[in-house]
Structure 1
Amino acid sequence: MPQRLVRRTRRFPAGTGEGSTSWYCTEGNANIPVPPDGLRFVEVADIYVHRNVETGRSQLWCFNKEQCWQPTYVGGEHPLLVGRRLQLRDNGEPSWVKPRSFSTMKSRSRYSQRQKL
């Protein structure tokens, strides 16, 4: 029986503007070609994250203005909110962030990677 996917939502932090990040997520032993059909309550700018547990990599899609899932990437632009970029938090959850936050998170990620070497 396939798992029922739940839409998760996190509001933008106070003082950073109105809006939220909403997403669905799955994980499995292989990549998937596209997000599954029949997701409920999907809206423009929703993100679908599929984590391949074999490789540790995530596949990302954004629901676009044409009402379909489009592959995207970290740093991809929000389809409605100018300036917001897609970022993945340390826990793998997506977040639409402002440019300054994106730059800060990117720098922290590079620093963290260097510390692991």
Structure 2
Amino acid sequence: MVLGVGYNGFHQLTGTGDRSELTAFAGQRISAYKAPTVSGTTKVGSTLTAKNGSWSVKPTGYTYQWYRGSTAISGATSATYKLTSAEKGRKIKVRVKGTRTSFTSGTAYSPATATVG
């Protein structure tokens, strides 16, 4: 990934070096700097929530896929997921895909949760 800063009329890479000034050039892949996480109680009937993490370029859209172990859960594609009896004794994770016009989408996985009780 190529990043740069600059605010002058000559498109020179200038600035303070402050990370908040960094700009990714269009066409680059969006990458996760900090992996997504899952919050909530790992108990059947509880709802888990995906936290998007931090990305190299702020995505304008996110998509989600929840997993039971390494198997995608059919239809579980929102930012939240209500645990069912099928998850009891298993660990859950979520894949987050970040998208933005003119950039290549990026994906990242959360760490697995504790075992569902």
Normalised to the residue count of structure 1, the TM-score between the two structures is: 0.24
Tell me which structure has the larger Cα radius of gyration: 2
- Larger relative contact order (Cα-Cα within 8 Å, sequence gap ≥ 6): 2
Normalised to the residue count of structure 2, the TM-score between the two structures is: 0.24
